[in-house]
Chains A and B, each alone.
Chain A
Amino acid sequence: MSFSWDFFWHDVLPPLLSAVPVTLALTLLSALGSVLLGIPLSVALGAAPRWRRWPAQGYSLLMRGTPMLVQIYLIYYGLGSLIPREWMRHSWASPVLRDAFWYGLTALTLNETAYVAVILKVGLDAIDRGQHEAAAALGLSPISALTRIVLPQALAVVFPMLANEFILLLKSTALVSTITIFDVLGTANNIRFETLRVDEPLVGAACVYVLLVGLVTLICLPIERRLTRHRSD
């Protein structure tokens, strides 16, 4: 069976492109969630008291020391098996509980949080002590000092690392195709099983992922420029 361009253009690319929003939604939502959850985790990672630092370190080691695939299965099959049947079938939450998308999103977010927290900690450590002291001297509360003074500077420092991490995240989303989510790879696999043609869907998926990575890179560049606009170099 040779590569058919006709099949590729007419039967493979359109469904793959219509699956792009799923992959992008998984990427953007888990990126957003992981930054929001990663901020407190990164603060805890650098905290002085052990009872705050140790759980944070344990979480980050656990998430970064096990494969994402195991985490996805643990949440989809494991958590899924713990939820009572009635909740799954007849409750206000059943549309969410029965949709694999939310399990995939949860797994991606929980995993990514650990990586983002470690990156954010690098940024927090890079900020001069004087900035904390100045914020305290101005009477800012610890929360305002973090969100208005320290964090914006830390984000500018680590933004290239974060951008890199989000490209890895975009690629990791392909793993959720294993739990019946029809993202780009999931859709390609579906075409593969339905038509028994292998080459076109896999090559098509590869093209789409290369385009998406290029797109994310292009989006990140102006953000990086804006975050570092105060720098002279």
Chain B
Amino acid sequence: MSVLNAPLGGYGTQLAEGLILTLRVSLCSYAIGIVFGLLGAAAKLSRWRSLRFGAGLYTTLVRALPELLLVLLAFFLGAGLFERLAVSTGLALDGFSLSPFVVAVVALGFIQGAYITEVLRAAVLAIPRGQHEAAKALNLPPLTHLGRIIAPQALRHALGGLGNIWLNATKDASLVSVLGIFSDVLKVSSLAAAATKRYVFFYAVAGASFLLLTFVSMALLERLRRRLMPVNLA
């Protein structure tokens, strides 16, 4: 990575490390988002009204609040509440505190989960009723019904939406730079810009880094789409 140092005004290594942190935040938050999304979609499609109501509240509220505000709420309110709850219920020892990385990726994952919920719900609803009926007629156990009949088809419907949310996840990872405790690629660029007074250059470098993530992601998503899509749907 040190070969990048000269053209990047001595900040090559730090920028590369920052980009890796950004990628880690994106990947972890997306994985958590998928968990929230699966739970949310299951709740929205469930038989019980209270679950449907809870999931509806979750997606509506998260999608009505600015991402930056949600991240701040998670850091200054959510983390503290969780820590106190964990200590008072005896799940954790006194003085327990969450690592900032965990708080950041859970907060971002919580946000993406709301969007993933909607994508997954729509994907399941797009499967023709006959598929459910056929699975029942074959007397498949519920897990096989879900895993072998519904999930593979829903995945194909959801792929486009999930890809878009991943592209957003890489961009939303830039929000952690505002907190001031993460040396992600945007924070490193800001520090480099302020120290060298080369604002345009270093913010352009930050932009180019995110663009690189976007392009690589788009190429990989396209390959994935080709693999998963049957010819007649592609």
Contacts and interface: CB of A to CB of B under 8 A. Distances in A.
Nearest to A174: B66
A74 B203 contact: yes
A171 B178 CA distance: 16
B77 A199 contact: yes
Interface string B160-201: 000000010001101101100000001001100100010110
A59 interface: no
A198 B80 CA distance: 11
Interface string B207-223: 10011001100000000
B203 A78 contact: yes
A185 interface: yes
Contact of A199 (B76, B193, B197, B206): B76
Contact of A77 (B76, B77, B199): B199
Contacts of A172: 66
Given A66-B171, A199-B77, A206 B65 contact: yes
Interface in A134-180: 167, 171-175, 177-178
A8 interface: no
Contacts of A78: 199-200, 203-204
A70 B188 CA distance: 12
B174 A67 contact: yes
A69 B186 contact: yes
B170 to A, nearest CB: 8
Nearest to B167: A65
Chain B contact-residue range equals 20 to 34
A71 B186 CA distance: 11
A14 B199 CA distance: 36
A50 B130 CA distance: 46
A102 interface: no
Contact of A67 (B72, B73, B186, B190): B186
B68 interface: yes
A211 to B, nearest CB: 9
Contact of B178 (A81, A173, A178, A210): A178
B61 to A, nearest CB: 7
Given A69-B174, A202-B76, A209 B210 contact: no
Contact of B73 (A173, A206, A214): A206
A79 B193 CA distance: 13
A208 B174 CA distance: 24
A214 B72 contact: no
Contacts of B206: 70, 73
A192 B204 CA distance: 31
Interface residues of A, number: 38
Contacts of B210: 65-67, 70
Interface in B96-145: none
B47 to A, nearest CB: 29
Given A66-B210, A67-B171, A70-B186, A202 B69 contact: yes
B200 A210 contact: no
Contact of A65 (B64, B178, B211): B211
Contact of B203 (A70, A173, A177, A189): A70
B17 interface: no
A218 interface: no
A189 B175 CA distance: 15
A48 interface: no
Contacts of A67: 171-172, 174-175, 186, 210
Interface of A: 62, 65-71, 73-74, 77-82, 167, 171-175, 177-178, 185, 188-189, 192, 198-199, 202-203, 205-206, 209-210, 213-214
Q: Which 5 A-B pairs have CB atoms at the shortest separation, nearest pair first?
A: A174-B66, A65-B214, A67-B174, A78-B200, A74-B203
Given A67-B174, A78-B199, A174-B66, 18 more contacts: A62-B207, A65-B210, A66-B210, A70-B189, A70-B206, A73-B186, A74-B203, A79-B200, A80-B199, A81-B199, A81-B200, A167-B64, A173-B66, A178-B68, A198-B77, A202-B72, A203-B73, A210-B65
